[in-house]
Structure 1
Amino acid sequence: METVDENRHAILKPSTNFRAMGNRRALSNIENLVGAPQSYACPVTKKQLTEKNLTSYRPMTRSFAASLAKKEHLPMAVCQVVDHKSVTDSPIPMVEELEYMKAEELEIEMEDVSEDITLVDIDSADAKNPLKVVDYVEEIYGTYRNIEETSCVNPEYMAKQPDINDRMRAILIDWLIEVHYKFELMDETLYLTVNIIDRFLERQNVQRKKLQLVGVTAMLLACKYEEVSVPVVGDLVQISDHAYTREEILNMEWLIVKTLQFNMSVPTPYVFMKRFLQAAQSDKQMDLLSYFLMELCLVDYNMLRYRPSLLAAAAVYTAQCSLKGYKLWTKTSQFHSTYSEDQIIECSRLMVDLHKKAGTGKLTGVHRKYSTYKYGCAAKSEPALYLLD
């Protein structure tokens, strides 16, 4: 091969050993010498892309032709492609151009398809974290869904209580939410406390004067399962204004565990909420709004008719609709929750109604809690009233 003077163009002679080269061809001048004009060629056809011929490399779909017609600068070559009568007048494209056009046409046809056609791998970021047990997380939540029936109660159980009603239950739960906030307990503790209360009241008749005793004792039991530092019995005696003695709390603890046959650890809405928020790729604001809606449901007796997983899915969906201003339930959220938008919309509308009324009436413990800066003032978010239409 001849030497090349870098100050002048030269012709490169290809090697004559074609057999050794196989299917490769010798390189031609690629205009990379000093003084060569700069150009930006199409990566497939190696042709100069100018404003004149840029349009010809995009496949002519109906949407593209309409957009060009609106701009009133449809080129002659494009008109020939659109006009089926004169399609033979257009120049026959090269094979490489056809391949390029096919690839581009496929891309353009997919523009109108929803972006969420594939599921997002929500566990990829936790693959190296052994505490997240990514290899087993789907099996764990599958087990939760299979056994969540054990944590559900008859939504009509209050009719069998002779001395208490759903209004008294709501007052108790609203008060316990304030106690939970004052003691700075974990979120799991609150959900398990409410679940223990409902399952116990379903099986055991309780007098009105003992209802608060059931509540503080249920919180003590939940703390023993969830907390690292458990409040002592004396703290519960003090928080209940010495309405009960230490011995009464311990006796009630024995009665509750005996009635529930020591079945304390059950899947609550909280465990599902964590997973569904991850599937929704939520931020801090959405997390707080979802928990605000869920705690409103804890107070309302009528929400007991929904399974824990459905409540969690509806809370996430309602929070998304409230923050986004439009309905949003992705394929990823549907896959991990196993609920479609149609299945959760009824529950979601009830949550919107609870959100709208949260700051009114006498039971405003949840609203006051989530109106603080610690909880991002989530209670002040606008409810998704359009879901009620």
Structure 2
Amino acid sequence: MFLLSLNHKGHPRMEENLKALHHRLPLRSINQNLMPNRSPVHSRKSKGHTVLHHQPPQPHATKKQNMLAPNPSYTLDCEIIAIDDNDEDASDNAVPEFVKHTEAMLDEIDRIEEVEMEDVQEPVLDIDACDRTDPLAVVEYIDDIYSLYKKIEDSSCVSPNYMTNQFDINERMRAILVDWLIEVHYKFELLEETLFLTVNLIDRFLERQSMIRKKLQLVGVTAMLIACKYEEVSVPTVEDFILITDKAYTRDEVLAMEKLMMNNLQFNLSVPTPYMFMRRFLKAAHSDKKLELSSFFLIELCLVEYKMLKFSPSLLAAAAIYTAQCSMYQFKQWTKTSEWYTDYSEEQLLECSRLMVTFHRKAGSGKLTGVYRKYSTWRYGCAAKVEPALFLLDN
């Protein structure tokens, strides 16, 4: 390796250098032999390379001198000092410790920034913050209330194959009954929670009590009468329900069935239905009226379907909102806030959501079109006209 010591013209040592170079070959020819087509200036010192140093004169240098052509942009004389290879530092190519430390620190900062960006992009919002001044919202207890609902919802569910114990009725008859009751509910302009409680009472009663098909409609209107007494302020009379059945049953038969059902159900009417979870989950989804109506359209389609009894009320509510969002926006959407408050991930909802999409697709073409006709009216925002999220079926 060579180290160049350069002396500017006009320096006191110039005269001595000129005398020493008087009988030597021109520097240009030496430069062509030593380093053709290569720049003499390098950015790093390594074995087998030369490095230019602008140094002050060193009168006491004792190393062997050689010649190397100067950079043509400078009018300099060169003093070449040979350096033993053994003097080179063994760790010359090693990365300095402060560089390693800096790189590690930058990597850690990048990782922290990525986590922070994820948090910024998808925060979990406090959906009860706006209700803290409303005493009716019971914000202090709302989390405990829904935790209790989640714990006891299994007790309100029925076996998904209870129809095997019925000898005279089947799944199809149940579907016809529920579809008809949805129309009755619409005609009487009852609350939504009344409909969900009605269907729950029917399934829980039929799970425990065998029934002939001739009495199945009586079970339906009696269940709605009980639900109205529990949920409504203004309750339809027994005579109203008798008329809606075209006087197929008498007042005494309705009252006798009411007594039988209440005894079988042990007067337990306070059960978490999908409606209870829908209100909370819609709030977490920051829904507008359109999303709300689309969600209720899908979940009412599920009321008719016997196969949907295998899903819990909270899962049905969450899946209805998720599927409605997919139908409205035509892409998958499930926020961290919705996942936090529903306690369901997107993957957990897919099975139920795909079934809802199939119900939505055939809602207007089958024989049981009560839900479709109800949600095709302007009163319900024509929610049934929204295109189903068929892309959920692709997977």
**1:229 alignment partner, SS class:** coil
Distance 2:137 2:192 in 1: 18
Q: Identity of counterpart residues, as a percentage?
A: 65
* Mean CA deviation greater in 361-370 or 112-121: 112-121
Distance 2:354 2:116 in 1: 32
Partner of 1:343: 348
- The unaligned stretches of length 5 or more in structure 2 are 1-108
The structural deviation recorded for 1:280 is 0.6
Are 2:158 and 1:142 equivalent residues in the alignment? Answer: no
Partner of 1:325: 330
2:366 maps to which of 361, 371, 374: 361
Partner of 1:8: none
Q: Deviations over 1:17-66 (max 9, x none)?
A: xxxxxxxxxxxxxxxxxxxxxxxxxxxxxxxxxxxxxxxxxxxxxxxxxx
Instruction: Please tell me the residue identity of whatever aligns with 1:132.
Output: A
TM alignment of 1:105-184, pairs within 5 A = 113=118, 115-184=120-189
Are 2:388 and 1:380 equivalent residues in the alignment? Answer: no
Q: Deviations over 1:300-334 (max 9, x none)?
A: 00000000000001001000111111111111111
Partner of 2:75: none
Partner of 2:21: none
Q: 1:116 to 1:259 in 2, by over 3 A?
A: farther
Distance 1:205 1:279 in 2: 41
The ranges of structure 1 where at least 4 consecutive aligned residues each deviate by more than 4 angstroms after the TM superposition are 104-112
**1:266 alignment partner, SS class:** coil
Instruction: Please tell me the residue identity of whatever aligns with 2:392.
Output: L
**1:113 alignment partner, SS class:** helix
Q: Kindly indicate whether the alpha-carbon contact (under 8 Å) linking 1:225 and 1:265 is maintained by their aligned counterparts in 2.
A: no
The structural deviation recorded for 1:113 is 3.3
Q: Deviations over 1:104-143 (max 9, x none)?
A: 9999867963654321010111111111111110000000
The TM-score with structure 2 as length reference comes to 0.70
Distance 1:122 1:319 in 2: 20
Q: Kindly indicate whether the alpha-carbon contact (under 8 Å) linking 1:116 and 1:331 is maintained by their aligned counterparts in 2.
A: no
Distance 2:375 2:324 in 1: 14
Structure index of larger Rg: 2
2:320 maps to which of 315, 324, 327: 315
Distance 2:356 2:211 in 1: 29
Q: 1:196 to 1:109 in 2, by over 3 A?
A: closer
Partner of 1:203: 208
The TM-score with structure 1 as length reference comes to 0.72
Q: Deviations over 1:260-318 (max 9, x none)?
A: 11011200000001111100111100000000000000000000000000000100100
Distance 1:179 1:125 in 2: 37
Instruction: Please tell me the residue identity of whatever aligns with 2:382.
Output: C
Q: Deviations over 1:161-180 (max 9, x none)?
A: 00000000000000000000
Distance 2:114 2:215 in 1: 67
Partner of 2:252: 247
Q: Kindly indicate whether the alpha-carbon contact (under 8 Å) linking 1:154 and 1:202 is maintained by their aligned counterparts in 2.
A: yes
Q: Deviations over 1:145-187 (max 9, x none)?
A: 0110111000000111000000000000000000000000000
1:273 maps to which of 272, 278, 295: 278
Distance 2:110 2:392 in 1: 38
2:235 maps to which of 216, 230, 234: 230
Distance 2:309 2:389 in 1: 22
Q: 1:240 to 1:228 in 2, by over 3 A?
A: same
Q: Kindly indicate whether the alpha-carbon contact (under 8 Å) linking 2:319 and 2:349 is maintained by their aligned counterparts in 1.
A: yes
Distance 1:116 1:272 in 2: 26
Q: Kindly indicate whether the alpha-carbon contact (under 8 Å) linking 2:122 and 2:335 is maintained by their aligned counterparts in 1.
A: no
Instruction: Please tell me the residue identity of whatever aligns with 2:187.
Output: K
Q: 1:230 to 1:108 in 2, by over 3 A?
A: same
2:195 maps to which of 184, 190, 198: 190
**1:374 alignment partner, SS class:** helix
Computed over aligned residues only, the root mean square deviation of the Cα atoms, in angstroms, reads: 1.8
Are 2:380 and 1:371 equivalent residues in the alignment? Answer: no
Q: Kindly indicate whether the alpha-carbon contact (under 8 Å) linking 1:116 and 1:330 is maintained by their aligned counterparts in 2.
A: no
Distance 1:305 1:157 in 2: 11
Aligned length: 287
Partner of 1:77: none
Partner of 2:101: none
| Higher strand proportion (structure 1 or 2) | 2
Instruction: Please tell me the residue identity of whatever aligns with 1:196.
Output: L
